[in-house]
Structure 1
Amino acid sequence: MSIRQGFLALLSEQPMHGYQLRQEFERRTGGAWPLNIGQAYTTLARLQRDGLVEPVLDAGEDSPEQFRLTDDGAARARVWWGTAVGREKPDRDELAIKLALAVTVPGVDVAAVVRRQRDETLRALRVLTRQKRDLDPRDDLAHSLVLESQVFAAEAEVRWLDHVEASVAAYGPARVPARAQAPTDTAGRNGGTSRTSGTTAALTKEIER
């Protein structure tokens, strides 16, 4: 999630100072994405630089400096609420990248990598499931929704790891596509024209989704 957009959304309610924004961001997202205070003030400074927030001039002398949305900032917040989150270019997924590389690097025990990751994801899933069970949505709907999102993501990751394991068993190690290999002066030195195996293609589709 964009911290910038989150801060704009919070400031659309009322002016706040940096520490308030940090607290409210963490509280309303169930602490799923903790912020340090430096990150909060850096984000505020950039929003001010871009003309989206401005200091509240009539704040008391002893009060921390508060910020409010400018007209441009308020418009940006409204656009965010009215625009779907794009999925064409998802954030880099470390696990998908790791496994895509694992099937192309000689000597890597891909099955062992998958097993270790599945154990870790299942462990995290158990923790998330307990937290979800102990939280009443009527008391904290925002936190409940965040937990459910994380539970669904972990369950999907376990299914994907099963798919990776089956693909590796079916197709074996992948070969690096020819365009990714270093050029050579001697034809055939790298074993002729290489091709992408079904495993690499399957993993690439997962990254692109």
Structure 2
Amino acid sequence: MENNFKVNMNEYLPLRDVVFNTLRQAILKGELAPGERLMEIQLAEKLGVSRTPIREAIRKLELEGLVLMIPRKGAEVAKISEKSLRDVLEVRRSLEELAIELACQRMTEEELAQLEQAQAAFSSAISRGVAMPIAETDEHYHDIIYQGTYNDKLVQMLNNLREQMYRYRLEYIKDEDKRQVLLVEHEHILAALKGRNIAEAKTAMREHIDNQEITVSRNIKEKEQEKPVRGRK
């Protein structure tokens, strides 16, 4: 188990919650890959804790659907399914369309300038070609739009959904052929916001999310087809 994640202690949280948050983020960011087994002893050694908080964290992750318990095998990271992808993106599509509509009306010129800077950082990350910085700059770009809605409840809902989106965002970005498409989609969204064109902005955001669903869904199907058929040599 060669992962870069580590436990970040928080004096205000019980150890079991710190371990849970650490493993959850590792799964959502792809540092613990779909299908990877979660070995209590190795995880305890890596995080410098006993097996008890590891076991408790795995149980909570199972309740969230991020971990599966396999009979006679143990715990493993849940694979990304078309159903889970569709469920998350259906919610995201609706929230993002509302966010872009409000942002069109409420973003200040200063915030639009920040969005242009975020787009430049996103473009730079794409040119370097490393998945995690691309995902992080993509997230920052969308965060500026969220804040530009000036709707705290909407921002809170989008932030809660964002964690569940990590796995799908990374899966999309891993497809190198789609990175330039992402860049163009961001440009369309930015142009519509600067023009205060609500209809164009909502269309651009919807296409942005639809393309993600199409690409990740195709990748899931391809991985399923690559699996060896049981009993076939």
TM-score, normalising length: structure 2: 0.37
Q: Return the structure number with greater helix share.
A: 2
TM-score, normalising length: structure 1: 0.41
